[in-house]
Amino acid sequence: MTSQTAQAIPSLEFAADLIRQSKRTVILTGAGISTPSGIPDFRSEGSGLWSRDEPMEVASLNTFRVAPERFYQWFRPLARQIFNAQPNPAHFALAKMEAAGLVRMIVTQNIDLLHQKAGAQRVAEMHGTLATLSCTHCFQQTKSEELLQPFIDGGAIPRCPKCGAVMKPDVILFGEQLPQKAWLEAQREARQCDLMLVAGSSLEVLPVAGLPMQALDRGAHLIVVNNSPTYVNVRADLVITNDVAQVLPALAQQVLNG
């Protein structure tokens, strides 16, 4: 445990008490939980993907429809990073708490599947998933490793094995609606939880950023673990401004063994 995390022990004890007392804990994670695994976030000043690229030009549904090769050219290095990434201690910590019956659901803004790779079972993916691709013509769905890996290696745009049309990763682009089933599930859990833990999200992207308020408005407790401030910090029971890859493993240890 680093000295920074050690200094946060009183806060961790309080957070652990809230989790142990909770009957329905929901986790909300953002890009900050995956940056320690080598996946860049989108909005950090100077290092985020949108500091280098205009999102509506490379990652919108309209761009994909008109010029899918432009999307895939931008997407290829990111897909390589995601495919090669492995869960970090933060992902494993949440999966352990879920396995112990202390976490009801993980709601994530990430598309990288790292929660599932770490062993989490109940994950609601708000911005879609990189696990599958769907045909833009016949809607055939195919597992990503069958088509994305050859694309990452050779650069050939994925095409439907059934009809030959361009395949689209099942991630949410700008101009697309959130996956309805996942979104309704996340809202239900936010409204029914008695504790929400936000980890690695700056809560800047609506409508997912509104989930903590749905929980707070119904009397839930709130813990925020993030390197930068969020709009709900003033309403939170506890705010830990530190690296999630350090805080969450220490918190899980405190909850499970404290």
CB 49, CB 70: distance < 8 Å: no
DSSP 141: E
- In angstroms, the first-to-last Cα distance of the chain is 15
CB 169, CB 148: distance < 8 Å: yes
Give the Cα separation of 122 and 144 in Å (integer).
20
Query: In the annotation, is 127 catalytic?
Result: yes
Neighbour order of strands in the sheet with 167-171: 141-143, 128-135, 167-171
Q: In the chain, which ranges are E strands?
A: 25-29, 105-108, 123-125, 128-135, 141-143, 167-171, 195-199, 221-225, 238-240
Question: Which one of the listed residues 91, 115, 127, 221 is annotated catalytic?
Answer: 127
Give the Cα separation of 247 and 90 in Å (integer).
8
Q: How far is CA 184 from the centre of its chain?
A: 17
Give the Cα separation of 109 and 115 in Å (integer).
11
147's enclosing H/E stretch is: helix 144-154
Please name which of 104, 70, 58 lies closest in space to residue 196, comparing C-alpha atoms. Answer: 104
Q: Hey, which residues are catalytic here? A: 127
